[in-house]
């Protein structure tokens, strides 16, 4: 296979590349990148006019639900959804059934991925056995089995001495510790953001403090241990001064948010809309503005989907019984590019939040638009509009408040080694 993409905007945040030019792919590798490539040999031409070409997205926060909840998603369907979203690498969270708290589960996930995954899968293992917050898992054995980080995502490790030991242990092994920041003693029973809306709907609210208390404690422990901490899915404005302080202190941390926290507000759940029930909950206009400012300032430098599929069994029920979470793999790029449209981020900065920085968290080399490297890149039309429908969604689950809405920005194709997918 020889393919020449002509006249695309070539973007690589890791190489700081932003130019209009041509890209030649040969036998699954990037053969040449240049302003103009002339070739006399037989080649298939793809017009890159109006298209962005950038390396595959690295989504470090995904729930693939396998093993144990395959009616919601599995490794095949979840990675297919990722591929359609321009994501070529996914890190999958360990709150499966059984949880990924032992090497056998890590190995199982990697074996399944080798057999049926469309993109590369990086398993995250549990911090504590059974995610019970009591006893640490065996990080060394888990890492040897292929785990790329540890997290009790879905739960916070509330015992500070256990979290401190986890950070020290992870530091020795250079494993990132990914924290789901939620002080459950404050958020217990909470359904949506605490405020006028929760009072109106008669639902128990979750205030900012349950998140920010957890963020601050974890930052203090990272300061003390100098261990690599990653803060998942930040949602409230009260975190921001503490993130700024932590940067100034040189604490080794990274912070993540998800498109739903800079796209939606709590208004989405009005009318008891379970598809917008997510943890942490959607917040207020002020929080959305603050999260965007934090992205602009570089305090939050990772964007991940927190793709959390649920079937109608868990969602088409009474609000208080419905599960938390929404799908996100296929909307990550269109929603994130709104930040560029609004003038908050340049395309390269945005892509560094989606490719370079998440790779740093996982301690992997990011995919790059580099001559000689394996083809792993995306063709993206930033202008094309499309309507979100159940039929178009590749994920097994359709739990998103975006159904019926129009999005701008469409993944047109993905090149991955010898494989090429055009959508
Ligand atoms: Zn979480
Ligand atoms: Zn999650």
The residues with which 376 forms a beta bridge, in sequence order, are 416
Q: How many CA atoms lie within 13 A of 303 on its CB side?
A: 33
Q: How many CB atoms lie within 10 A of CB 325?
A: 22
Distance 196 CA to ligand 2 centre (A): 26
Whether residues 165 and 30 share a domain: the answer is: no
Q: How many CA atoms lie within 13 A of 120 on its CB side?
A: 17
Distance 62 CA to ligand 2 centre (A): 6
Asked if residue 305 is part of any domain, the answer here is yes
Render pLDDT for 173-232 as a digit per residue (tens, 0 to 9).
999 999 999 999 999 999 999 999 999 999 999 999 999 999 999 999 999 999 999 999
Q: Which ligand is located closest to the Cα atom of residue 64? A: 2
Count of domains observed in the chain = 2
Cα–Cα distances in angstroms (integers) from residue 39 to residues 32, 51, 152, 243, in the given order: 11, 21, 52, 51
Whether residues 98 and 14 share a domain: the answer is: no
Asked if residue 12 is part of any domain, the answer here is yes
Distance 60 CA to ligand 2 centre (A): 10
Q: Which ligand is located closest to the Cα atom of residue 233? A: 1
CA angle 140, 146, 149 (to 5 degrees): 70
List Cβ neighbours of 170 (8 Å cut-off, separation of 6 or more).
Answer: 139, 150, 176, 177, 227, 228
Distance 33 CA to ligand 2 centre (A): 37
Q: Which ligand is located closest to the Cα atom of residue 232? A: 1
Q: Which ligand is located closest to the Cα atom of residue 281? A: 1
- pLDDT value at 423 more than 90: yes
Asked if residue 402 is part of any domain, the answer here is no
Asked if residue 417 is part of any domain, the answer here is yes
Render pLDDT for 121-179 as a digit per residue (tens, 0 to 9).
999 999 999 999 999 999 999 999 999 999 999 999 999 999 999 999 999 999 999 99
Asked if residue 389 is part of any domain, the answer here is no
Distance 233 CA to ligand 1 centre (A): 7
Tell me the pTM: 0.98
Asked if residue 35 is part of any domain, the answer here is yes
Q: Active-site positions?
A: 306
Q: Which ligand is located closest to the Cα atom of residue 306? A: 2
Q: What is the pLDDT of residue 393?
A: 98
- Positive or negative: CA dihedral 90, 95, 99, 102: positive
Q: Please give the residue range of the domain that contains residue 29.
A: 2-53+371-384+407-422
Whether residues 48 and 61 share a domain: the answer is: no
Q: For ligand 1, a single-atom ion, which residues have Cβ within 5 Å?
A: 153, 180
**Cα–Cα distance measured from residue 3 to residue 18, given in angstroms and rounded to the nearest whole number:** 21
Distance 124 CA to ligand 1 centre (A): 13
Distance 417 CA to ligand 1 centre (A): 32
Distance 324 CA to ligand 2 centre (A): 10
**Cα–Cα distance measured from residue 143 to residue 157, given in angstroms and rounded to the nearest whole number:** 20
Q: Which ligand is located closest to the Cα atom of residue 63? A: 2
Distance 251 CA to ligand 2 centre (A): 23
Q: Which CATH number do you get for residue 413? A: 2.30.40.10
Render pLDDT for 337-383 as a digit per residue (tens, 0 to 9).
999 999 999 999 999 999 999 999 999 999 999 999 999 999 999 99
Whether residues 157 and 196 share a domain: the answer is: yes
Whether residues 15 and 102 share a domain: the answer is: no
Tokens of 52: 């962005």
Whether residues 314 and 212 share a domain: the answer is: yes
Distance 182 CA to ligand 2 centre (A): 12
Whether residues 351 and 230 share a domain: the answer is: yes
Q: Which ligand is located closest to the Cα atom of residue 62? A: 2
Q: What is the pLDDT of residue 356?
A: 98
**Cα–Cα distance measured from residue 354 to residue 56, given in angstroms and rounded to the nearest whole number:** 9
The residues with which 378 forms a beta bridge, in sequence order, are 54, 414
Distance 84 CA to ligand 2 centre (A): 20
Whether residues 231 and 331 share a domain: the answer is: yes
Asked if residue 399 is part of any domain, the answer here is no
- pLDDT value at 253 more than 90: yes
Q: Which CATH number do you get for residue 186? A: 3.20.20.140
Residues above pLDDT 70, as percent of the chain: 100
Asked if residue 291 is part of any domain, the answer here is yes
Distance 298 CA to ligand 1 centre (A): 21
3-state secondary structure the chain: CEEEEEEEEEEECCCCEEEEEEEEEECCEEEEEECCCCCCCCCEEEECCCCEEEECEEEEEECCCCCCCCCCCCHHHHHHHHHHCCEEEEEECCCCCCCCCCHHHHHHHHHHHHHHCCCEEEECECCEHHHCCCCECCHHHHHHHCCCCEECCCCCCCCHHHHHHHHHHHHHHCCCEEECCCCHHHHCCCCEECCHHHHHHCCCEECHHHHHHHHHHHHHHHHHHCCCEEECCCCCHHHHHHHHHHHHHCCCEEEEECHHHHHCCHHHHCCCCHHHCCCCCCCCHHHHHHHHHHHHHCCCCEECCCECCCCHHHHCCCHHHCCCCECCCCCHHHHHCHHHHCCCCCHHHHHHHHHHHHHHHHCCCCCCCCCCCECEEEEEEEEEEEECCCCCCCCCCCCCCCCCCEEEEEEEEEEECCEEEEC
How are beta strands 2-12 and 17-26 bridged, if at all? antiparallel
Whether residues 205 and 324 share a domain: the answer is: yes
CA angle 210, 216, 218 (to 5 degrees): 100
Question: Of 192, 238, 198, which is closest to residue 214 (Cα–Cα)?
Answer: 238
Whether residues 294 and 252 share a domain: the answer is: yes
Q: How confident is the model at residue 39 (pLDDT cuts 50, 70, 90)?
A: confident
Whether residues 41 and 101 share a domain: the answer is: no
- pLDDT value at 412 more than 90: yes
**Cα–Cα distance measured from residue 281 to residue 210, given in angstroms and rounded to the nearest whole number:** 11
Q: What is the pLDDT of residue 40?
A: 79
The residues with which 256 forms a beta bridge, in sequence order, are 302
List Cβ neighbours of 24 (8 Å cut-off, separation of 6 or more).
Answer: 2, 3, 4, 5, 30, 31, 32, 33, 37, 39, 43
Q: How many CB atoms lie within 10 A of CB 59?
A: 30
Q: What is the pLDDT of residue 191?
A: 98
Tokens of 341: 């449209």
**Cα–Cα distance measured from residue 239 to residue 168, given in angstroms and rounded to the nearest whole number:** 24
Distance 116 CA to ligand 2 centre (A): 23
Whether residues 216 and 346 share a domain: the answer is: yes
């Amino acid at each position: 296979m020889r393919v020449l993409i002509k006249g695309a905007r070539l973007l690589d945040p890791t190489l700081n590349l932003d130019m209009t030019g041509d890209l030649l792919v040969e036998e699954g590798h990037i053969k040449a990148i240049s302003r103009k490539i002339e070739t006399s040999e037989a080649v298939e031409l793809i017009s890159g006019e109006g298209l962005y070409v950038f390396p595959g997205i690295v989504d470090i926060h995904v729930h693939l639900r396998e093993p144990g909840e395959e009616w919601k998603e599995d490794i095949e369907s979840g990675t297919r959804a990722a591929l359609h979203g321009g994501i070529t690498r996914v890190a999958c969270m360990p709150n499966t059934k059984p949880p990924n708290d032992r090497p056998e589960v890590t190995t199982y996930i990697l074996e399944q991925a080798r057999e049926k995954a469309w993109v590369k899968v990086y398993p995250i293992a549990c911090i504590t056995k059974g995610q019970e917050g009591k006893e640490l898992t065996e990080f060394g054995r888990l890492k040897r089995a292929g785990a790329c980080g540890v997290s009790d995502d879905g739960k916070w490790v509330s015992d500070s001495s256990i979290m401190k030991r986890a950070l020290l242990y992870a530091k020795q092994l250079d494993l990132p510790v990914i924290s789901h920041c939620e002080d459950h003693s404050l958020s217990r029973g909470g359904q949506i953001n605490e405020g006028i809306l929760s009072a109106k709907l008669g639902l128990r609210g979750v205030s900012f403090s349950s998140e920010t208390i957890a963020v601050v404690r974890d930052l203090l422990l990272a300061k003390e241990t100098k261990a690599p901490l990653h803060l998942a899915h930040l949602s409230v404005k009260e975190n921001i001064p503490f993130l700024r302080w932590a940067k100034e202190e040189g604490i080794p941390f990274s912070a993540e948010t998800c498109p739903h926290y800079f796209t939606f507000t709590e208004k989405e759940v009005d009318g008891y809309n379970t598809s917008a029930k997510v943890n942490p909950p959607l917040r207020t206009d002020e929080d959305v503005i603050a999260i965007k400012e934090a992205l602009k300032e570089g305090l939050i430098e990772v964007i991940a989907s927190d793709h959390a599929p649920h079937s109608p069994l868990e969602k088409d029920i009474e609000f208080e019984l419905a599960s938390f979470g929404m799908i996100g793999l296929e909307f990550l790029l269109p929603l994130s590019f709104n930040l560029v449209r609004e003038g908050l981020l340049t395309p390269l900065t945005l892509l560094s939040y989606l490719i370079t920085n998440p790779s740093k968290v996982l301690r992997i080399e990011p995919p790059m638009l580099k001559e000689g490297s394996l083809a792993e890149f995306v063709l993206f039309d930033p202008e094309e509009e499309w309507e979100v429908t159940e039929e178009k969604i590749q994920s097994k689950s359709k739990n998103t408040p975006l159904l019926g809405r129009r999005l701008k920005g469409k993944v047109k194709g993905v090149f991955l080694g010898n494989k090429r997918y055009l959508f």
